[in-house]
Structure 1
Amino acid sequence: MTATIQNLINQESLPNSYADTVEKTILPLAQHIHSLRQAQERPVVIGIHGAQGTGKSTLTEFLRELLTTHYHTPTASFSLDDLYLTRVEREKLAEDVHPLFITRGVPGTHDIALGQQVIDQLEAAGRDTETPIPAFDKSRDDRKPRQQWPVFRGRAEAILVEGWCMGAVPATSEEELMEPVNELERSEDPEGTWRQYVDRCLRGEYSRFFSHLDNLIMLRAPSMECVLQWRTLQEHKLRKRTDGAPKDRSVDTGPAQPSRIMSDREVVRFIMHYERITRASLAEMPARADCVINVGEDHSFGEPLIRQRQ
């Protein structure tokens, strides 16, 4: 197991000290998921919630590898990000409903039916079944062609689905929904059309999708301010990997470009799309999530706080 952990650390370009995080946080979580699978006859479906930059993707990568290799629990994973509508589909949504839907992220901009289809296929798969897993290219702001999707072979015993709004709930009242939380909502959605559509999606297909989770894990960020800092850092790393220059636009309604890397100014506006649901989740989700992992300002993970279901 030590070799596996070190290989993952190298693969993710993490400091060697991350091995302590694996020992303290990730291995107990893997054991927890393994135990959940043993307690039921069908594959276990795990939702991993966390705001931008909390480390969802890295956690998912480690869990998938450790569960598959060392707990003999074949594990598939995908992100809500991989279910984003195509650029053309979002352009149509922006034209028909509200211009803010050109920006990926909020409920309403994912193909939730596709996500459920993938889970259903993984659960029904046989030993030799090949299940394509959707993939999204953030540098191009569009879904990858189907022939470029990774393939999961066989039947998954655990399915990990990670995303910033996994398990999120709709607004508690119309009054709460209509009170703007930032300048984006105030100036670009004064009638609340965009917010109301997002909320309807959360109440509808997203709620049904989340209801199929066997367990919800929350990576709890320390504050909304940290989320902005971390998301900015993510964009810097993406720009470095793709060698792309940002294209600063005050209103992003144009056609897809070869590079969709955001400037710092665009990141601030981008995060405003997520702010309402992120703040609400930070406030209410810790009390109901099956497992909470506190994330420090330095991205360090605390020990998993696991709630045993009755």
Structure 2
Amino acid sequence: MTDPIDTLIAEERLPADYRDVVERHWTPLATQIARRAAGRTPLIVGINGAQGTGKSTVCRFLEILLKKRGLRAVTLSIDDIYLAKSQRQQLAAEVHPLFATRGVPGTHAPGFAFDIIEAVLAGRTFEMPRFEKSRDDRAKQGVTISGPVDVLLFEGWCVGAKPQPEAALAEPVNALEAEEDPDLVWRSLVNMWLGADYARLFAQLDMLIMLKVADFDAVRRNRALQEAKLREREPDAPGLMSDEEVQRFLDLDERLTLHMLEEMPQLADIVIPIGPDQRPVATGAA
């Protein structure tokens, strides 16, 4: 019988030595989650990490590793609860042009996640939504997940984030903010939503894990590599970004990413530093 870990390594186009990463880092992480889940399932686990840190890949391995421990895990990505393209265009027209681009708080539909968590807690069957990045739009149909689920892995670049102090919004972090949000309307609304619906959503987490890169330069490198892989898989997809578009996309996320890199290590239950090769370099509690 084929080992599901080896199968996943092949599917993700990872090198054969990635099995060492699984054994040294993701297996102990699965054990920690399983211990937390003992006697209190279902468990809602947040997986935070800047763009390109490998959150979705980690979750795929955790699903397999938790299954070996008798726990059924499924993954909800915050990317899959983005507003539809038409909804973001309406938000951009009525509120602020920068909301046309997916990413920041305010461009998601938190209600989807609330409904999924409620269904998981009740042991009901539910539909997992899907977002197609190559089209920059919601998929017409989700995936039906039959209950019960023992562990819901909720992954996303801003999962668990908290709003900034209002005074911190005054100074732009990059040229995009200075030129396209001079009146602080966009970033103030992002911060407000983060402290409202998103705060209530993240309060549902039983456990928070952070995949932490060293700095924002690492985010830029990792995200560029991620887009290159997407272009390789789907070269004709309409939603692909040029290098310039990737940089603009990251400019929109820079403020909150920097805030999380500074604040979240003190808030997360587990912090796993991620090296320049996109592999974990250590595992430890925050």
Task: Provide TM-score, normalisation by structure 1.
Answer: 0.90
Report if aligned partners of 2:110, 2:198 keep a CA contact under 8 Å in 1.
yes
Q: Give yes or no for the alignment of 1:241 onto 2:238.
A: no
Residues 103-151 of structure 1, C-alpha deviation per residue, up to 9 Å, x if partnerless?
000000000011110111122125xxx32101000000000012xx122
- The match for 1:79 among 77, 80, 85 is 77
Give the Cα separation in 1 of the matches to 2:285 and 2:31.
Answer: 12
Which segments of 5 or more consecutive residues in structure 1 lack a partner in the other structure?
245-257
2:44 maps to amino acid: V
1:35 maps to amino acid: R
Structure 1 equivalent of residue 190 of structure 2: 198
Report if aligned partners of 2:46, 2:159 keep a CA contact under 8 Å in 1.
yes
Report if aligned partners of 1:24, 1:303 keep a CA contact under 8 Å in 2.
no
Report if aligned partners of 2:5, 2:64 keep a CA contact under 8 Å in 1.
no
Structure 1 equivalent of residue 271 of structure 2: 292
Q: How does 1:91-130 map to 2 (within 5 A)?
A: 91-126=89-124, 130=125
2:257 maps to amino acid: T
Q: Give yes or no for the alignment of 1:28 onto 2:23.
A: no
Structure 1 equivalent of residue 63 of structure 2: 64
2:254 maps to amino acid: E
1:134 maps to amino acid: P
- The match for 1:221 among 207, 213, 217 is 213
Q: Give yes or no for the alignment of 1:43 onto 2:42.
A: yes
Residues 132-181 of structure 1, C-alpha deviation per residue, up to 9 Å, x if partnerless?
101000000000012xx122122101000000001111112x22112100
Q: CA deviation at 1:306?
A: 2.5
Q: How many residues align?
A: 286
User: SS of 2:159's equivalent?
Assistant: coil
Give the Cα separation in 2 of the matches to 1:197 and 1:34.
Answer: 37
Q: 4+ runs of 1 displaced by more than 3 Å?
A: none
Q: CA deviation at 1:2?
A: 8.4
Structure 2 equivalent of residue 262 of structure 1: 241
User: SS of 1:186's equivalent?
Assistant: helix
Give the Cα separation in 1 of the matches to 2:138 and 2:123.
Answer: 24
Give the Cα separation in 2 of the matches to 1:11 and 1:242.
Answer: 16
- The match for 1:138 among 133, 143, 153 is 133
Q: CA deviation at 1:302?
A: 2.4
Structure 1 equivalent of residue 252 of structure 2: 273
Report if aligned partners of 1:49, 1:164 keep a CA contact under 8 Å in 2.
yes
2:32 maps to amino acid: H
1:82 maps to amino acid: D
Report if aligned partners of 2:42, 2:152 keep a CA contact under 8 Å in 1.
yes
- The match for 1:151 among 116, 141, 144 is 144
Q: CA deviation at 1:236?
A: 1.1
Q: CA deviation at 1:8?
A: 1.3
Q: Give yes or no for the alignment of 1:179 onto 2:171.
A: yes
Q: CA deviation at 1:4?
A: 2.0
Give the Cα separation in 2 of the matches to 1:155 and 1:37.
Answer: 14
Superposed CA RMSD: 1.4
Give the Cα separation in 2 of the matches to 1:187 and 1:291.
Answer: 37
Give the Cα separation in 2 of the matches to 1:240 and 1:285.
Answer: 33
Give the Cα separation in 2 of the matches to 1:188 and 1:122.
Answer: 41
Give the Cα separation in 1 of the matches to 2:11 and 2:182.
Answer: 45
Give the Cα separation in 2 of the matches to 1:210 and 1:154.
Answer: 22
Report if aligned partners of 1:26, 1:59 keep a CA contact under 8 Å in 2.
yes
Which segments of 5 or more consecutive residues in structure 2 lack a partner in the other structure?
none
Structure 2 equivalent of residue 8 of structure 1: 8
Structure 1 equivalent of residue 262 of structure 2: 283
